[in-house]
Structure 1
Amino acid sequence: MLEHILPFIEGRLKLKEITSRSNALGYERLKLKLKQFIMGWVNYFRLADMNKLLISTDKWLRRRLRMYIWKRWKRIRTRYTMLKRLGLNRSNAEKYANTRKGYWHIAKSQILSCTITDNRLRQAGYTFFADYYKTVKV
């Protein structure tokens, strides 16, 4: 049983390494590394029926990306400016820019889920497992 789960665990560990907060790749190199990993991983396992697994992995990956982006917006002023740019009103942008909660906690918050949406991540050029799986499914 463990043999079937092991590749998925190794895949998550590799994703965790790629999207690490201390990773200084920058957005473009991060997108490229994620795309290469996702394409290779999905092509390797494309014969398996794994849509539910990919959807849950995509949720986790999007949260990791929001955490990565929030970490890159280090200063309060930058966070405020970016939240305003993404459509948040002034008072909420001030409140959430000044938060002291951890990166992982904020990545799951409603504010980042509403401002850094799934569609915005796709438009920015990020590739997700389920999207790519739909294109290569036999």
Structure 2
Amino acid sequence: MQRYFSHFLRIQYSKTDGKVGCRPDKSAKQRFKNKLKKLTSRKRAGTWKQIMTDINRVTVGWINYYGIARMKTFIQEIQGWLNHRLRQIIWKRWKKVKTKYKKLRKYGIGHEDAMRLANSRKGYWRISSAEVLHRAITKEKLTKWGLKNISALYELRYLKG
């Protein structure tokens, strides 16, 4: 049985089978997601490097503060959601059909799939979840372009704590 017995500094303490544990409060998780949402706005100005720097600063700070808590599932969900948001920004910044096609081809997508996706009239959010775009812009590419892996940061921090 799990009982929550305290909220302190946006950390929720609980007792499970005689062991005391903690996790971030719902409001802390929501504030974190809202900060990331603001940083990954489609209309945000700035270079890719600046966006990555800001995202990394927020995520590293959040992980350092809440790293002792149990939140593996939440971290995995946020990582997936953040990758989706970044693909959406990239897709919007490519703007023209010609650019989208060239970039997709450059990242290893075949002619047919690249033409189909580049000429799609679907919205940015919907396209950013397309399997073809996931093959073109992988998690590894996002990491190579400067994004820190939140799951890896959490694992390192949680193991230390």
Check whether TM > 0.5.
yes
Letter in 2 for 1:115: A
Structure with more of its chain in strand, by fraction: 2
Q: Does 1:127 align with 2:148?
A: yes
Map 1:63-82; keep pairs closer than 5 Å: 63-82=84-103
What TM-score, normalized to structure 2?
0.82
Take 2:105 and 2:113, find their aligned partners in 1: how far apart are those partners? 9
Give deviations 1:56-99, integer Å, cap 9, x for gaps.
11010000010011011001111000000000111211111011
Shift of 1:27: 0.5
Q: Does 1:88 align with 2:109?
A: yes
Q: Secondary structure at the match of 1:13?
A: helix
- 36, 43, 62: which is aligned to 1:22? 43
Map 1:1-138; keep pairs closer than 5 Å: 4-137=25-158, 138=161
How many percent identity over aligned positions?
31
Structure with more of its chain in helix, by fraction: 1
Letter in 1 for 2:45: A
Q: Secondary structure at the match of 2:108?
A: coil
- Which one has a bigger Cα radius of gyration? 2
Unaligned runs of 5+ in 2: 11-24
Give deviations 1:4-62, integer Å, cap 9, x for gaps.
20010011111000000000122000110011000101111011011111001101000
Matched residues, number: 138
Higher RCO by CA contacts (8 Å cutoff, separation 6 or greater): 1
Q: CA RMSD in A?
A: 1.4
Q: Secondary structure at the match of 2:109?
A: coil
Take 2:123 and 2:29, find their aligned partners in 1: how far apart are those partners? 27
What TM-score, normalized to structure 1?
0.95
Take 2:72 and 2:42, find their aligned partners in 1: how far apart are those partners? 28
Shift of 1:128: 2.8
